[in-house]
Structures are given as C-alpha cells and as structure tokens.
Amino acid sequence: MRDVHVDQIAETIARLVQDANFKLEQDVTDAISRAKSLEEAPVGQAILLQITENYTIADTERVPMCQDTGVALVFLEIGQDVHLVGGSLTEAVNRGVATGYKEGYLRMSMLNDPINRVNTKDNTPAMIYTDIVPGDQVKVKVDCKGGGSENMSQLKMLPPSAGWEGAKRFIVETVANAGPNACPPLIVGVGIGGNFDKSALLAKKSLLRHVGAPHPDPEWAAREQELIEEINKLGVGPMGLGGTVTALAVHVEFFGCHITALPVAVNIECHSHRHKEAVL
Ligand code: SF4
C-alpha cells in the first residue's frame, strides 16, 4: 500500500482549477486550429479568430477565458493499492476547489440549494466522481464546466426499436435545439446504453477524451463520424452566427443495456473546454 495524503489532492485541485481557467490544453487549441481551416463562413472565421485571441489574452494575463468559470468536475482514479490518509477525501476535494477559486479570483457560481439559491461563495460543492483502478497512484482530472452548455444537455429513454437512426436523430436534434446557447463550436459527449444514470455518466466522461480522438472500436468511430457530419450540416456555426463548424468533435461511449431500453444522453461542452489532470 502507498499512502497519499488528502492535502496533496486538495493542493493539486487548487492549482488545476486555476490553470484550467487560464490556459487551454493543446488538444482544444489544436481542435480550434483545425476548425479555422474548415470553417467556410467569413463570420464563422472571424469568430474563431476572436476565440483564439481571447485564449491568448487569458493565458498571457492569467485571467479567466470566460466569465463563467464553471462548476468544478473532479474525476479521481484511485489505485486500489493507495491508502488515503489525513482526513475526508470529499472535504479535501472541496477545500481544493474553494482555495483555487479564491486564489484565482474565479467567479463563484455554486448555490447551496437549487430552490433556495444561496451562493456558497467558494464554488463548492464540487461534482466528485471516483473510480477504483489498478495500481498505487491517484489520477486527478478536473473539468471546469460552464453552465450554458450543461443546460443544453439532454437525456432520453428511447424504445429499442428506435435503433441507431433514432438515437442519431435525438443527438442531432439536441445540438440543433442548443443553437447558440451552448457557445459553439462544441464538443458533443454522448452516452448510449447502460441505464438512466449510466448513460449520463458515459456522456460526461466521454468529454475527457483527447478532443477529436476517435472511438477505438471502428464501428463506433464510424458512428461518431456520421454524427459530426450531420451536426456540422446544421449551419449553427461558431457562436451560433452561422457557419460550417458547429462541433469540434463528437465522442460516443456505449455500455450494455436491458432488452427493453435504449438510453441516450447528450452532454454538451462549449469551446471553452477547460480540463487539466495530474498524477499523484
Ligand atoms: S457555455 Fe462556455 S463559453 Fe459559453 S458562457 Fe458558459 S462557460 Fe463561457
């Protein structure tokens, strides 16, 4: 067993949420560069240039690239040979988020209660996802996810007879309905199968894939390709002002499901895809 102190996890998260808001990872900037070469509409091209300029300013001046600095999604892959010491993991994660958001002067967007709606003033609670994996390390992945794109996400329990064509229709319609509200160009995360909650989690986790990397199964990679072609035919374009690039990537993850079910979840991520990771 290897001891990992939860304070290390808190300190790492405090750093990652700031870095994520100030500087995009290479996979996202590469995807935007590809979009610039593909975008045919002059207005779309102009928006992509402005988006790139905004990224450069955020990086150079260490200021947030968007006013919505997001809800902190924290994905922990904990090696089964790790012994977490020093206190509660959940408290440590939230301490890290609170410290990072305060130190970085990031906007506090979280409420204590969805109906009473009092701001917690430290951007907690974080959304925490844990997986137990082989090994003696802890991988910490952070995604600071904007509310606008999350709000345009959808989940539907389709009848099995809907098949791939029905699933595809629902996914493309979800992006069409999102229009400009999710700040395209988008990364579209799709979860198919499992059950109600599993499909949503698959969609969420698919967003963590290297942007634009195809599914390892060629059949599913071909379906991703079908989807991005259909989505980019919608003409929504960068920031919804029209154009040929509505999505930077479509990532699909699947899981086995019950004979009566065909759950499909679409989790939409905006172009400000702020993710970082570290290994402890
Ligand atoms: S959807 Fe993304 S880019 Fe748009 S306001 Fe929210 S965080 Fe910012």
Domain extent listing, the chain: 2-20+65-145, 148-273
> Cα(150) to centroid of ligand 1, in Å?
9
Q: How far apart are the C-alpha atoms of 234 and 242, rounded to whole Å?
A: 9
**CA of 157: how far to CAs of 97, 151, 201, in Å?**
34, 18, 14
Confidence class of residue 280 from pLDDT cuts 50, 70 and 90?
very high
pLDDT digits (tens, 9 = 90+) for 181-240: 999 999 999 999 999 999 999 999 999 999 999 999 999 999 999 999 999 999 999 999
> Cα(183) to centroid of ligand 1, in Å?
6
pLDDT confidence of residue 15: 98
Pocket test for ligand 1, best of 149, 150, 187 (most atoms within 8 A of CB): 149
pLDDT confidence of residue 5: 98
- pTM for this one? 0.96
pLDDT confidence of residue 155: 98
The answer to whether 195 and 137 are in contact (CB under 8 A) is no
Pocket test for ligand 1, best of 52, 68, 150 (most atoms within 8 A of CB): 68
The answer to whether 126 and 72 are in contact (CB under 8 A) is yes
> Cα(155) to centroid of ligand 1, in Å?
20
Q: How far apart are the C-alpha atoms of 27 and 210, rounded to whole Å?
A: 6
H/E segment holding residue 45: helix 42-61
Atom 4 (ligand 1): residue with closest C-alpha?
Answer: 183
Atom of ligand 1 nearest to the CA of 150: 1
